[in-house]
Amino acid sequence: MVERTGEVAGLATHWREAPADGRPPILYVHGVPTASWDWIPYLERIGGIAPDLPGFGRSAKPVDFDYSIDGYVPWLEAFTDAVGLERFSLVAHDWGGLALGLAQRIPERIDRLVIHTCVPLLPGYRWHWVARIWRTPFLGELFMATASRPAFKLISRQSNARPGPLPAEFIDRLWPDFDRGTRRAILRLYRASPPDVLARAGVRLGELNCPALILWPTEDPYIGPEWGPRYAEAIGENARLEMIEGSGHWMWLDRPDVVEKAAEFLSD
């Protein structure tokens, strides 16, 4: 695995990549508040390319970027062109689900799709309690301004299915990146995404023709287990749903075998 930097759509961009063993290239899109390092277990096992989205990790965090679904989708398309991904598989988690907007935009270029507990681009979703704070003016800024490593560690206890906070190495990777630019990007992204915007972003999911694997945890406190079947229904006959027992929001931390499930599907 190597780390690279370059310019994409005028923004300094950092990404990680590893050989994909002859299979179609794989694009991984991370969620909030992580970055490309979230995909290291997948890159080491399967290979592929994982960028830090604008506003996250070691990529640029400009004040004037459009931190919304409509802003990220064209940037992701520019990234695939910049790194030479003509036809590729797409793997997404959490807010990485905004890449489903890219899949609907260029369906002919998507080989396979793996969805891990992604933000629902579907009607009827109600934001979880932390997101509702972030979406509230002044309260969200106050929450971000007073955020601390111990507080994050405490809140992260609900993210796992296993007892205790997220692993120390996970928090050690996350916290240095959680700077003012990332906090601003998170607030803008959530505030640009009311329920009607989410629903509108997924209206063409049923037009995707590629095989899709939906890996959904049973114990996610942010996006409930009912949304896995909802995604499968929206995508249709090409989708296969697998509920992952005993796992939380970052499934592969509770159930490392999830990485192998994705690997088998992507190489089938």
Tell how strand 11-18 and strand 2-8 pair up: antiparallel
Residue 268 banded pLDDT, cuts 50, 70, 90: confident
What CATH class is the domain 2-267?
alpha beta
Name the pLDDT band for 232 (thresholds 50, 70, 90): very high
Model confidence band, residue 263 (pLDDT cutoffs 50, 70, 90): very high
Q: Judge whether residue 238 has pLDDT over 90.
A: yes
Domain ranges in the chain are: 2-267
Phi, psi (deg, nearest 5) at residue 102? -65, -45
pLDDT at 159: 87
Q: Contact at 8 Å (CB) between 27 and 48?
A: yes
Please tell me the distance from the alpha carbon of residue 48 to that of residue 68, in angstroms, as a whole number.
25
Distance between CA atoms of 226 and 218, rounded to whole angstroms? 9
**pLDDT tens-digit profile of 50-66?**
999 999 999 999 999 99
What DSSP character marks residue 156?
A: G
265's tokens: 């599907």
**75: phi then psi, degrees, rounded to nearest 5:** -65, -40
The amino acid sitting at 90 is L
Query: What is the spatial distance between Cα 217 and Cα 220, in angstroms, rounded to a whole number?
Result: 6
Given a contact cutoff of 8 angstroms between Cβ atoms, the answer to whether 114 and 219 are in contact is no
pLDDT at site 76: 98
Question: What's this model's pTM, rounded to 2 decimal places?
Answer: 0.97
pLDDT in tens, 114-151: 999 999 999 999 999 999 999 999 999 999 999 999 99
Summarize pLDDT for 180-209 with one digit per residue, the tens. 999 999 999 999 999 999 999 999 999 999
